[in-house]
């Protein structure tokens, strides 16, 4: 444990440092506020013994600055008996406790030990909150996603590279972030690189940095994102879009944990865990020669495949409620609810855009909603349109054909009316029936619609 003593009296500094070193603590010392803030920035400090009367700056300001930089740091203020009220004010500003002058040695040791214990507990709680933060952003109910989450829990503590596969919009970035927060690197940086959105001629310098003058436009030396991610995790999204030349350099980083910036001569060593993601078929790309086989196997140490939303429909209600609460709060509409019919439509839809598409649909509905209930009229037309392709597999216990046909007909009518703004005449034209026939079908199915 490292303790920083901040006091402009050298004699008091010597007494406190001798006392604390005798108890086994590491001690660093500062005579001014400027030195104190510099040392706290340069070194990891667990507790600060802070005199409130400093020559260059009020100790109260130093306290506020220390707590702003690190809310978990323990600060014990040292004050004269005549300034006890000031010390109490300091505690309101975040100080752990105060020691009045003249102090007793045992009182100092006891207060320091209690302050360090508080610091330890707060640090552990912060780490726990960070580790839980990733999973807090994931919402699931299905057995398929439970298997994915269990694999994430087991793989996260390791140093191994991870390859996330699955369709666009299934939540690969959220899963990568959760993996980082559950790992021993949670305190380190988490850097996201969408390799597909970076021009191929700039990707290498983006990842590995460049030296000044390395190419046209390189007016200054710049660190690459691998160096930025040192000690943490780098998430390479759309890894299948990386050009072959850059793939070779990626392979070297994985094997040697070092690289040479563009235009540079010296290697840069890094300690970075790689999480890559793709919606492409990398084995097919390997067979075609567009993705290096050795890089594929280096990235593919642990593969986690995210199932599309249509294969885990049990997650749709939970995700819908999650997005509904979020967007209702953001738009100051806290009492919005979803009708059972609207939820049924969302569960039945095949979601080609997966979770991202569902999120957009709910956000749109919340923004457009003028009452406190969201119904299917606030959904875009493609959500209400019947699904293309073969019919869903028949339930093993069969179904009521007449009821199934009525449900299908009702969905068609609702979709056409939604697309035509509720105008039955136009909806009839879209369905290629007469207005009177459509009206009779609506009546027979017991539907309630606004007539034009």
Polymer length of the chain: 452
The fold for domain 313-384 equals: Helicase, Ruva Protein; domain 3 (1.10.8)
| pLDDT of amino acid 47 | 95
| pLDDT of amino acid 42 | 81
* CATH homologous superfamily of 2-127: Response regulator (3.40.50.2300)
What is the domain partition of the chain in residue ranges? 2-127, 139-307, 313-384, 386-452
Is there a shared CATH topology between the 2-127 domain and the 139-307 domain?
yes
Centre a 10 Å sphere on the Cβ of residue 2 and count the other Cβ atoms it contains. Answer: 15
pLDDT in tens, 256-307: 999 999 999 899 999 999 999 999 999 999 999 999 999 999 999 999 999 9
- Can you read off the two tokens belonging to residue 108? 């100092």
pLDDT in tens, 71-103: 788 999 988 755 667 778 888 888 999 888 888
- Ordered DSSP codes for 195-239: TTTS-HHHHHHHHH-B-TTSSTT--S-B--HHHHTTTSEEEEETG
- Can you read off the two tokens belonging to residue 251? 């392979």
* CATH homologous superfamily of 386-452: Homeodomain-like (1.10.10.60)
- Ordered DSSP codes for 230-269: TTSEEEEETGGGS-HHHHHHHHHHHHHSEE--BT--S-EE
In SS3 terms, 92-147 reads as HCCCCEEEEECCCHHHHHHHHHHHHHHHHHHHHHHHHHHHHHHHHCCCCCCHHHHH
Q: At what angle do helices 172-181 and 143-155 cross, to 10 degrees?
A: 40
Question: Would you give the end-to-end CA distance of the chain in angstroms?
Answer: 77
The continuous run of DSSP H or E covering 426 comes out as helix 424-431
In the predicted model, residues of the chain with pLDDT beneath 70 are 81-84, 126-137, 385-399, 418-419, 421, 448-452
| pLDDT of amino acid 390 | 40
Chain centroid to Cα 308, Å, comes to 20
Per-residue CA distances from 19 to 16, 24, 31, 423 (Å): 5, 9, 18, 86
| pLDDT of amino acid 135 | 67
Please check whether residue 419 is in contact with residue 381, taking contact to mean a CB–CB distance below 8 angstroms.
yes
User: At residue 188, what are phi and psi to the nearest 5 degrees?
Assistant: -85, 175
| pLDDT of amino acid 418 | 67
Architecture of domain 139-307: 3-Layer(aba) Sandwich (3.40)
Q: Which residues are paired to 235 by β-bridges? A: 192, 275
> What's the half-sphere exposure (Cβ side, CA atoms, 13 Å) at 254?
21
| pLDDT of amino acid 413 | 84
Q: What strand order describes the sheet that includes 74-80?
A: 26-30, 2-6, 47-51, 74-80, 97-101
Please check whether residue 358 is in contact with residue 344, taking contact to mean a CB–CB distance below 8 angstroms.
no
Per-residue CA distances from 198 to 172, 243, 250 (Å): 19, 11, 16
Q: Token pair 């030396």 is at which residue? A: 221
Centre a 10 Å sphere on the Cβ of residue 369 and count the other Cβ atoms it contains. Answer: 20
Q: Token pair 């005549």 is at which residue? A: 82
């Amino acid at each position: 444990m490292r303790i920083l003593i901040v006091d402009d009296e050298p004699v008091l500094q010597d007494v406190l440092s001798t006392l604390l070193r005798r108890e086994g603590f590491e001690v660093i010392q500062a005579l001014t506020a400027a030195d104190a803030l510099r040392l706290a920035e340069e070194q990891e400090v667990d507790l600060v013994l802070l005199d409130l009367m400093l020559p260059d700056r009020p100790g109260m300001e130093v306290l506020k600055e220390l707590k702003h930089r690190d809310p978990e740091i323990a600060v014990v203020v040292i004050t004269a008996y005549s300034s006890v009220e000031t010390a109490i004010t300091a505690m309101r500003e975040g100080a752990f406790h105060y020691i009045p002058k003249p102090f007793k040695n045992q009182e100092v040791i006891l207060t320091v030990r209690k302050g360090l214990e508080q610091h330890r507990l707060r640090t552990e709680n912060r780490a726990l909150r960070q580790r839980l933060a990733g999973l807090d952003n994931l919402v699931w109910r299905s057995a398929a996603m439970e298997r994915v989450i269990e694999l994430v829990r087991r793989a996260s503590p390791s140093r191994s590279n991870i390859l996330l596969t699955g369709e666009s919009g299934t939540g690969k970035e959220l899963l990568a972030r959760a993996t980082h927060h559950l790992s021993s690197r949670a305190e380190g940086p988490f850097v996201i690189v969408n390799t597909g959105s970076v021009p191929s001629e700039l990707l290498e310098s983006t990842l590995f940095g460049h030296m000044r003058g390395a190419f046209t436009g390189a007016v200054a030396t710049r660190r690459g994102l691998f160096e930025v991610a040192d000690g943490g995790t780098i998430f390479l999204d759309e890894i299948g879009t990386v050009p072959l030349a850059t793939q070779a350099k990626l392979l070297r980083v994985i094997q040697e944990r070092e690289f040479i910036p563009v235009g540079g001569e010296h290697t840069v060593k890094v300690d970075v865990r790689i999480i890559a993601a793709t919606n492409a078929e990398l084995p097919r790309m390997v067979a075609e020669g567009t993705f290096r086989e050795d890089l594929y196997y280096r990235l593919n140490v642990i593969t986690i495949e995210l199932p599309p939303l249509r294969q885990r429909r049990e997650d749709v209600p939970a995700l819908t409620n999650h997005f509904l609460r979020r967007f209702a709060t953001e738009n100051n509409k806290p009492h919005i609810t979803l009708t059972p019919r609207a939820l049924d439509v969302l569960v039945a839809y095949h979601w080609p855009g997966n979770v991202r598409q569902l999120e957009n649909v709910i956000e749109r509905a919340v923004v457009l909603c003028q009452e406190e209930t969201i119904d299917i009229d606030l959904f875009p037309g493609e959500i209400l349109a019947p699904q293309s392709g073969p019919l869903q597999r028949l339930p093993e216990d069969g179904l009521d054909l007449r009821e199934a046909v009525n449900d299908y007909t009702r969905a068609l009518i609702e979709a056409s009316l939604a697309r035509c703004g509720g105008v039955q005449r136009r909806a009839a034209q879209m369905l290629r029936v007469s207005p009177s026939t459509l009206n009779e079908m609506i009546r027979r199915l017991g539907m309630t619609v606004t007539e034009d």
